[in-house]
Structure 1
Amino acid sequence: MKRLRWYDFIFINLFWFGMNVRNTAVGSFFMPYLVALYAPPDWKNSALSAMSTAGLVIAMIVQPLAGLFSDRSTSRFGRRRPYIMIGTLLDLVFLVAIGLSWNYWSLLVAILLIQFSANISHGPLQGLIPDLVPEDQRGRASAIKALFELVPIALVGITIAKLVSVGELGWAIAVTGAFLLLAAVVTMVTVKEEPLKEKSGDSFWPPMMRVFLMLLGILAGLCIGLLGGALIGGILGLVTWLLANKQTGLIVAVAVGGTLAMAMAVVIGVWAGSTTAIGKEEARQHASFIWWIVNRLFFLAAITSLQRFAQYFFMYTFKIDVGTAAGLFGKLITVVGIGTLAAAFIGGWLADRFSKRLLVSWSGILAGVGCTVLLGTILIPNEWVIYVAGTVLGVATGVFMTANWAMGTNLVPAAKAGLFLGISNLAGAGAGIIGGSIGGPVADYLNLTTPGMGYFVVFAGYAVLFILSAVSLKFVREPKPSAALAM
């Protein structure tokens, strides 16, 4: 494997930039904007939740499947780039389909299709660094990758978000497609892969079975969490009904039940999925790693769900239409993106010098504070409150993403790092399923009983998830330096 020059790191990672522009534009702007236009106003959060959840299930299956196919590809163009280009070309078609959608169901079909095509390129893309970068240069390559994952957040906020806010959805889609296509073409031209001479003899099904088992575990955790939350919330609601009145009892039942359901779904889903994927004995021996995934899932479920419902929250708090809310949300994620980017660099430096466990714990608490500040716009609908909340959330997220991953690489057994970290990636996709699928219906139901109550309860619930991410670290034991995974 030959030594790489500085610009090679940019070319190898450039498609991460285009991919994250697409992901942020579609998931954070196009979907919420169009769902608000097509779905009944009182149920738009539930409609968005259903669409997002269905798409994430497809992503959890297609992404590793495409990665496995690319591992075995003998194309003369290389193993990864053909999938990146095919996925991109399909993305362009389905981006147009999003723009041409005329109701909720046509939009749903377009979103499911683009989730399929997007993950055709995403899975193989993850193989470029291991394929092409020498081990002693992978730290620098990974740093560029992280940069290309974070910069698009702020970039979309100051470009595509503004187009959506003034109703220029067509131009917003065109700009998204242009970024994506440019990144794919440059990758095809500049990245040089050695074709695989013969297909791998490794069995295809064991890794795919782990994917299905992890997905089933997360879904089982979701179902058990819903049942447990409904039971406990129902009991507390009944007591409140007897002590106060029916409406208050219903609010308590749904609020407590929804928050408990999310928390239980995270813990049970991760343990169920991990145990079925790696076995009970492995899970018991590496309990700290499983609790690390729980910590990661708590945080990611909260931050991704905040991002998903923020526009509708702003529509209520600022009494504005969906276009104006998209522009306001663009300002928020610009601040969050800049804060995350700055904190990620600081977090890496801190993670090498201080306890990673302590840094991850405080980032969860700080994010909980930021979420609470964002809730303050219900009482003080002022943009400066959003900027303060965005800064706090951005700093917390940047430190978390850096220190949490550094902690995880120290917890995995070196001989099985690929398997264990692969499970954590699947759990990351499950975060959106858990936080969104429960939060949307809870918000809509409570908003019907008392306007704004749903957003207050759900966003407060996400603040609780941030705090629980810190609490879950009580069960994580960092290994001694000699036992850490070699980087």
Structure 2
Amino acid sequence: MTETTFIAVADGSDDPPAPIKGVGRLLGWIIPANFGIFLIWGSVPGILLPQQLTVMNASDKVANFTIVATIGAFAAMIAQPAAGQISDRTRSRFGRRAPWIVLGALAGGLSLVGLAFANTLVGVAIAWTLVQITYNFAQGPLSAVLPDRVPLARRGTFAALSGIGLMVGALGGQIIGSLFFNSIAAGYVVFAVFALAMLVLFVVFNPDYSSTNMRNESFSFGDFLRTFWVNPVKHPDFFWAFSGRLLLYTGYFGVTGFQLFILTDYLHVAKPQDVIPLLGIISIVGTIVATVVSGPLSDKIGRRKPFVFGSSIVMAAALVLPWVWPTFTSWMIMTLVMGLGFGMFQAVDTALMSQVLPSAKSFAKDLGVVNIAATLPQTLAPGIAGAIVLGFGYGALFPIGIALSILGAFCVWFIKASK
């Protein structure tokens, strides 16, 4: 099957044409590529952005962070499907994805520099919104590499490696971000340069087929707007996969994304910047162990669902600890166990998602919609958590996170395209 034919007739359950430089190179380079982007998602909304707002106005830090996080989340929700729609229709000798990966990384870096110099709530909100939009224009096309180029038999392994880059970036961002706790602007610049370098190298070392001969259907703005509605009747597997990821991610990031304020205001840790690196290392260990084992094992046995169910049970059990035993020790134990559960989930969920995509013509757009379920919780969950804390206190975060994790796994039960 040629690349052009594949785009015209295939869906997510079909094997794509072999990558130009081989699958092995893709497997290696997806780790630093995801690491570059998710280092930003781990450091900025979790550490640097709330600290920036605390320095600006400590008395209103929770409310201001809730406002900024919510605005940015809605921007991300629109940006990634839009980026996917554009990249699906892009004709260039470098393929459909490469131009947007590079341009998104470059524009994202400039937006981070703008955030570094913002000194008002309005300025921070605008700059953070631009960061969300631009980096999603890189992340959306990058996520489409999986169904575009990876054969079905290797998708669990690819998803595991992708998950390692994602989670080590998100958790490593907490560690590295804490090093810039008192020099926020410098941190923004460092993360911007690093992400640009990693994504450019990914594109250079993993060339794609030319898309200059691809035929595009006429664009319909109405059809694009309808992509935000996942039809449970027409595409039930797609709907359940989206819903499951949205719920489980929200449960996870609703707690971990609010870590800085939980440490200071709920667990009364005097210097959170001193313990966040330790927590990041603990979480990385749990995540990597679970990811490395779960992804290849799911390929070997040909099943994804048991790993999702298991991950939700592990994550729910972890969240019980700081709820009933609010100490820093319980938080450390929770961090390790949550890392194991989320690593198990992340290792197989991406492979499962790739199997429910309706058409190769719109892989990036459809993944953009699916990835709303991943990116939206990471950016919106801190805002939701802020509202919960303002209304009910920190203790209410944990039972809500438990319920969301269990409901997320329950949705996966109804997916028929995967066992």
Query: Do they superpose with TM above 0.5?
Result: yes
Shift of 1:435: 4.1
Q: Is the 8 A contact 2:33 2:199 kept in 1?
A: yes
Identify the structure with bigger relative contact order (alpha carbons < 8 Å, sequence gap 6+): 2
Out of 313, 317, 338, the residue aligned to residue 393 of structure 1 is 338
**What does the per-residue CA deviation read over 1:346-385, in whole Å, with 9 as the maximum and x for residues that have no partner?**
223554549754443332232122112133563x3x3x32
Question: Which residues of 2 match residues 46-57 of structure 1 at below 5 A?
Answer: 46-57=63-74
How far did residue 413 of structure 1 move?
Answer: 7.3
Name 1:253's counterpart in structure 2: none
- Secondary structure of the 1:86 match is helix
Q: 2:38 aligns with which of 20, 41, 55?
A: 20
Report how far residue 132 of structure 1 moved: 4.8
CA RMSD of aligned residues (A): 3.4
In structure 2, list runs of 5 or more residues that go unmatched. Answer: 1-17
1:461 Cα deviation after fit:
2.1
1:83 maps to 2:100:
yes
Q: What's 2:28 paired with?
A: 10
**Distance across 2 between alignment mates of 1:189 and 1:413:** 29
1:444 — aligned with what?
Answer: 390
In structure 2, relative to structure 1, the CA distance for the partners of 1:16 and 1:434 (3 Å cut) is closer
Is the counterpart of residue 301 in structure 1 residue 250 in structure 2? yes
1:201 aligns with 2:216: yes
100, 107, 110: which one aligns with 1:93: 110
| 8 A contact 1:70–1:79 mirrored in 2 | yes
Q: CA deviation at 1:303?
A: 0.7
**Alpha carbons of 1:203 and 1:99: their partners in 2 closer, same or farther (altered >3 Å)?**
same
Distance in 1 separating the partners of 2:97 and 2:247 = 32
Name the CA shift for 1:72/1:108 in 2 (closer, same or farther; >3 Å). same
2:258 is paired with a residue of what secondary structure?
helix
Match of 2:14 in 1: none
CA contact (8 A) 1:55 1:111 kept: yes
Report the structure number with the largest CA radius of gyration.
Answer: 1
TM score, norm. by length of structure 1: 0.71
Deviation at 1:48, TM superposition (A): 1.8
Q: Which residue of 1 aligns with 2:377?
A: 431
The residue that corresponds to 1:458 in the other structure is 397
Q: Deviations over 1:155-209 (max 9, x none)?
A: 3243332232xx1223322331232132133234333234322453223336522
Higher helix share: 1
Partner Cα distance (1:133, 1:403) in 2: 14
Write the letter of the residue equivalent to 1:308.
Answer: G
Contact 1:156/1:330 (8 A) holds in 2: no
Evaluate the alpha carbon distance shift between residue 469 and residue 130 of structure 1 in structure 2; reply closer, same or farther with a 3 A threshold. Answer: closer
1:26 maps to amino acid: V
Change (3 A) 1:387 1:148: same
C-alpha distance in structure 2 between counterparts of 1:329 and 1:340, whole Å: 16
Q: Which amino acid aligns with 1:25?
A: S
Task: Name the amino acid aligned to 2:70.
Answer: T
> 2:126 aligned with 1:109, yes or no?
yes
* 1:335 alignment counterpart: 282
Cα separation, partners in 2 of 1:102 and 1:320, compared to 1, 3 Å = farther
Taking only the aligned residue pairs, the percentage that are identical comes to: 23
Deviation readout 1:243-273 (Å, 9 max, x if unpaired): xxxxxxxxxxxxxxxxxxxxxxxxxxxxxx4
Q: Helix, strand or coil: the match of 2:234?
A: helix
Confirm or deny: 8 A CA contact 1:18 1:180 kept in the other structure: yes
Q: Are the counterparts in 1 of residues 312 and 341 from structure 2 also a CA contact under 8 Å?
A: yes
Structure 1 residues 329, 58: closer, same or farther in 2, change over 3 A?
same
| Corresponding residue number in structure 1 for 2:190 | 175
* Counterparts of 2:358 and 2:133, CA distance in 1: 32
Whole-angstrom distance in 2 between the partners of 1:420 and 1:159: 33
Distance 1:138 1:308, change over 3 A: closer
Question: For residue 373 of structure 1, what is the aligned residue in structure 2?
Answer: 321
The match for 2:413 among 476, 481, 486 is 476
User: Contact (CA 8 Å) 2:52, 2:184: kept in 1 or not?
Assistant: no
Map 1:21-420; keep pairs closer than 5 Å.
21-39=39-57, 41=59, 43-133=60-150, 140-164=157-181, 167-198=182-213, 200-205=215-220, 208-211=224-227, 214=228, 273-274=229-230, 278=231, 281-282=233-234, 286=236, 290-320=239-269, 324-349=271-296, 351=298, 352-353=300-301, 356-376=304-324, 378=326, 380=327, 382=328, 384-405=329-350, 418=363
Matched AA of 2:255: L
- How far apart in 1 are the matches of 2:108 and 2:158? 26
CA shift at 1:291, angstroms? 4.2
- Out of 423-432 and 88-97, give the one that drifted further: 423-432
> Cα distance 1:377–1:178, how it changes in 2: closer, same or farther (>3 A)?
farther
Matched residue of 1:469: which SS? helix
Normalising by the residue count of structure 2, what TM-score does the alignment of the two structures yield?
0.81
The one-letter amino acid paired with 1:464 is A
Letter in 1 for 2:333: V
Deviations, residues 72-105 of structure 1 (Å, cap 9, x unaligned): 3334444322222222222222222222121222
Residues 46, 316 of structure 1: CA spacing in aligned structure 2 closer, same or farther, 3 A cutoff? same
Whether contact under 8 Å (2:283, 2:338) holds in the other structure is: yes
Per-residue Cα deviation, 1:121-157 (whole angstroms, up to 9, x for no partner): 1222233444455666555544432332222234324
Task: Kindly indicate whether the alpha-carbon contact (under 8 Å) linking 1:56 and 1:115 is maintained by their aligned counterparts in 2.
Answer: yes
Q: Structure 2 vs 1, CA of residues 128 and 13 (structure 1 numbering), >3 Å: closer, same or farther?
A: farther
- Give the partner amino acid of 2:413: V
* Distance (Å, rounded) in 1 between the aligned partners of 2:199 and 2:387: 38
Q: Which string of whole-angstrom CA distances, capped at 9 and with x for unpartnered residues, describes residues 4-28 of structure 1? A: 1634543466422211112212222
Q: Kindly provide the amino acid, as one letter, of the partner of residue 29 in structure 1.
A: I
CA contact (8 A) 1:12 1:129 kept: no
CA distance in 2, matches of 1:476, 1:346: 22
Contact 2:241–2:415 (CA<8 Å) still a contact in 1? no
Match of 1:62, as an amino acid? Answer: A
The answer for the alignment partner of 2:4 in structure 1 is: none
Change in Cα spacing, 1:424 to 1:117, as seen in structure 2 (3 Å) is: closer
